[in-house]
Chains A and B, each alone.
Chain A
Amino acid sequence: MQKNYQILNGAELISQAAIDAGVNFFAGYPITPASSIYTALLTKLQELGRVAVGASDEISALAMCIGASIRGAKSITATSAPGLSLMVESIGYAFATETPCVIVNGQRLGPSTGAATQSAQGDISFVRNFISGGYEIPVLAINSILDSYETTYRAINLSEELRCPVILLTEKDVIMSQTNIDSDLLDEIKSKQKTIQRPYFDFEEQKKQYKNYDFDNLTDIPEFLAPGIGTKHRAVVTASMHDKAGNLSKNSPEAFEVLEHLRAKIEDNIDKYSFYKLTNNNSKVSIISFLASDLSTKAALKELEKKNIKVNHLSLTTLFPVLKKPIIDLAKNSDYIIIPEVNFGGQYAEIIRGTILEANPNCQIIKINSQADLISPQRIITELEKHV
């Protein structure tokens, strides 16, 4: 059957999704393996008359992105661990000021400068734990080249919906590898996406005075007012501890309520962004996968199906906050859960170990790890066959 295809890599699809989702501001600094995302975004944004600039370093890049978002733009930037390390302070700032922004982390082998052209999945713990105070920010994982489109779109929507920074986690192998994508399939995926905007304060109708960080329930998202447009209301933005109006306050009950809201806004709204796929085959053996290990898993499961062996498969897009519901359901019915990861020690497995064992103390967690590149499907097949 004749079809139309395009040969695309992750970078191209990330950039297309960003544009289609309304991104209109990019400031970046090149770093392998994220540089191709920079180039792809720059080209498209400038074609459309939107803003794309090179910054003098990663600190500047993200600060400019966040500044633009404070003004009302939709911003994105892309980097790898050495650059992400420089961005950590500004991510905290975006979190505390409730400013949307998407940061793509294209993982490479660390530590530090490491190996720029080696793929890895070693930043999982890092992206969970770099906000002072232990606050979570959403982390979505890209699980294939094609998946780069939808997950990027979702990340941008999520960042607007919750008014927070979102980490879009991917890796060298997906960003820089090319495959044939069915053009009709891509168009179908594109047509299903709806763009979400942050909630705007209606300054025409409101009788009451605008408060920058106002909410009734802790999980509510404060309404946004762009600073500099000359309405009757002031915008007051700050990352210092503040009350709902944005006024500095370090020990009032309302200021502590605001902190509680920052936590609740992310953790208690999880039902809005629980992206995963669960295939339940009533097996006692299960596998949890994400990032490019999801591909290795699919290859392994396809081979096993030929031998009529089926296991349960939980494929995660939302990595953080941890999706307790599907993991607990899986654990309750599993004797074995296999978790393949390209890092030293199974970072995600260790993070969800407590959740699994609390649900089922008899469940055995089996980690399949390698420090770089990809997990070979044969290793997954061998491990699954042992227990089925």
Chain B
Amino acid sequence: MFNHPNINLYLNETQEFPYCTGCGHTMINKAVASALAKSGLAPTKINLISDIGCVGLVDKMFLTNTIHTTHGRSTAFATGIQLADEILFSNPNSPTIKSSDARLANPKKRSLLGVNEHFEDERNEADGALGQGCSLNFVMIGDGGATIGLLHLVEAARMNANITVILHNNFVYGMTGGQNSGLTPENFRTATTLSGSLVPNIHIAKLLEASHAGFIARKLATDKDLDDVILEAFNYDGFALVEVVELCTGYATKWNPLSKKDIEIILENTDQEERGVIVKKDTLAFAKKYLQSFKAKDDYKKPAKIKNQIKTDRDLNLKLILAGTAGEGVQFATSTLAKSLLKQSLNISQKNDNPVTIGTGYSISELIGSTEEIYYSAIDSADYVLISSEDGFKRVFNEIKKTTKVIIDSSLLIQEVKDKLSKIGCEIISIEGRNVLKEKRLSIFKLISELYRQETQLNKGLFVESINDSGKASDELKSIFK
């Protein structure tokens, strides 16, 4: 049926088809080879990515590059190959599959004589070992791969990766013995649904259309123009699905009448009777969108540098825990404090903690400032614990030791809290925060201001400088440090 003169440059005619007699895979293989021959692309510009199953026996039949992958994941691997190919390794001026007509028209570029060595090499020396991209990437996948890898198909369609998926739909998992698949229609008999499947099939075309696929076609393996539809899919710049409905003569035909008429009835009953090119939209493939969105800069942005300005008079090893409520700027306050300590030639180590839901509950930071190099970043016994809210108190209560100085917002010192702290025997420094501040969340800064009062070798001016540099200082915050 498919008799393009160049078909043997793509289909390995020294190999025997490894499929059962009458299996649709044989016809699909031939149609694919014919489509490739009609494309005129050099075989090694073509990547055949195969899934697992009878469909996965295809590799030896083709003289293209072949990448045999794991079950269901073929589409995801293909997406990775294609994105790298077009975004990283393509020369924007190179001829692509879309301009195969131009290539056909140019006699110099078209050769009929043999595998590979007779295709004019379009590569330049500058392409090196990895260019030039714009290869043709297509996936050969069956029921199994489509079921396990359903999410990868949806993702490739949604992303509009420039790959073609040739889905061999024979309603069963052939290689493993004809079990029911995600594409098995309701009432269809399989090895595992001998009295007829109780569950309807995934409507793969509708699912992928809903996933924004720009090209969807459905054909039968026996269609005489299968190669032309496949070629149209290959030429489509974006995600293309060609669902080919076929017979599994090893299993499915044992339990179900499957003449052409029977198949057409099944397709009608499952709302899949539309044939040919069902969807073809004008879309922009992902790689092109990506290249438009992200223009390469020379270098990536590096974090800001901070110079140390003054030294402390004596050795210092300060361990602090700051605790408050999520969203109130505890971690920002601690980062600012860390910068100030660094400017004072102290090494710093900061660790933050939240409940996993970052927006609510407590927010705490552990900060060590030391003249010595810091190896151990955990605080076994804090010098100061600054507590600005009830959330914070509940979280750090167990960290408070007898030798810890607790600087705490006065609003928290209800009798119960006072009793708990007095049992520990730690020093308590109560600071008016929430009761007097307009912005309650600035409480943590009032506590930090007290810290500077307590630890006289710490330079408050550096903290003020760091606050001002951040650009986040409100007037009320600035007034706390006057």
Contact across chains for A51 and B307 when beta carbons are under 8 A apart: no
CB distance from B158 to the nearest CB of A (A): 9
Contact across chains for B378 and A230 when beta carbons are under 8 A apart: no
CB distance from A189 to the nearest CB of B (A): 14
Q: Which of B76, B335, B349 has the most chain A CB within a 10 Å cutoff?
A: B76
Which bucket holds chain B's interface residue count?
A: 35 or more
Residue A195 at the chain B interface, CB threshold 8 Å: no
Residues of B near A295 (CB, < 8 A) are 375-377
Q: How far is the CA of A376 from the CA of B308 in the complex (A)?
A: 30
Chain B, Cβ-Cβ closest to A203: B129
Segment from B44-52, B181-189, B202-210 that makes contact with A? B44-52
Contact across chains for B76 and A6 when beta carbons are under 8 A apart: no
Residue B282 at the chain A interface, CB threshold 8 Å: no
In the complex where A60-B152, A247-B60, A373-B378 touch, is A71 in contact with B306 (Cβ < 8 A)? no
Chain A: residues with Cβ within 8 Å of the partner, total of 82
In the complex where A4-B305, A59-B76, A229-B130 touch, is A68 in contact with B375 (Cβ < 8 A)? no
Contact across chains for B376 and A376 when beta carbons are under 8 A apart: yes
Q: Which A residues from 203 to 221 make CB contacts under 8 A with B?
A: none
Q: How far is the CA of A200 from the CA of B136 in the complex (A)?
A: 22
Residues of A near B132 (CB, < 8 A) are 229-230
Residue A252 at the chain B interface, CB threshold 8 Å: no
The binding surface of chain A is classed by DSSP as mixed
Q: Report which of B64, B69, B78, B378 forms a contact with A376, defined as CB distance below 8 A.
A: B378
Contact across chains for A70 and B44 when beta carbons are under 8 A apart: no
Cβ proximity bits A65-80 to B, threshold 8 Å, 1 near / 0 not: 1111111110100000
Residue B452 at the chain A interface, CB threshold 8 Å: no
Q: Report which of A32, A47, A60, A176 forms a contact with B155, defined as CB distance below 8 A.
A: A60
Q: Which of A70, A176, A296 has the most chain B CB within a 10 Å cutoff?
A: A70
Contact across chains for A71 and B85 when beta carbons are under 8 A apart: yes
Residue B180 at the chain A interface, CB threshold 8 Å: no
In the complex where A7-B339, A56-B151 touch, is A228 in contact with B44 (Cβ < 8 A)? yes
Q: How far is the CA of A179 from the CA of B348 in the complex (A)?
A: 5
Segment from B215-223, B262-270, B351-359, B402-410 that makes contact with A? B351-359
Contact across chains for A49 and B305 when beta carbons are under 8 A apart: no
Cβ proximity bits A88-129 to B, threshold 8 Å, 1 near / 0 not: 011001000000000000000000000011000000000000
Residue A333 at the chain B interface, CB threshold 8 Å: no
Contact across chains for B304 and A6 when beta carbons are under 8 A apart: yes
Chosen A-B contacts, 22 in total, with CB atoms closer than 8 Å, are A2-B307, A5-B342, A6-B304, A7-B338, A48-B296, A48-B297, A50-B87, A55-B76, A56-B155, A60-B76, A67-B76, A67-B78, A67-B79, A179-B349, A180-B348, A228-B133, A232-B117, A233-B44, A234-B64, A237-B65, A238-B68, A248-B59
Known: A55-B155, A56-B151, A67-B76. 13 other contacts (CB 8 A): A2-B308, A25-B84, A47-B294, A67-B78, A69-B80, A93-B70, A176-B352, A183-B305, A228-B85, A229-B132, A230-B42, A236-B65, A237-B68
User: Which 7 residue pairs of A and B lie closest in terms of their CB atoms, listed nearest first?
Assistant: A67-B80, A228-B135, A49-B296, A63-B76, A64-B80, A227-B65, A67-B77
> Chain A: residues with CB nearer than 8 A to chain B?
2-8, 12, 16, 19, 24-25, 27, 32, 43-44, 46-51, 53, 55-57, 59-60, 63-73, 75, 89-90, 93, 116-117, 173, 176-180, 183, 200-201, 224, 226-240, 247-248, 295-296, 298-299, 302, 373-374, 376-378
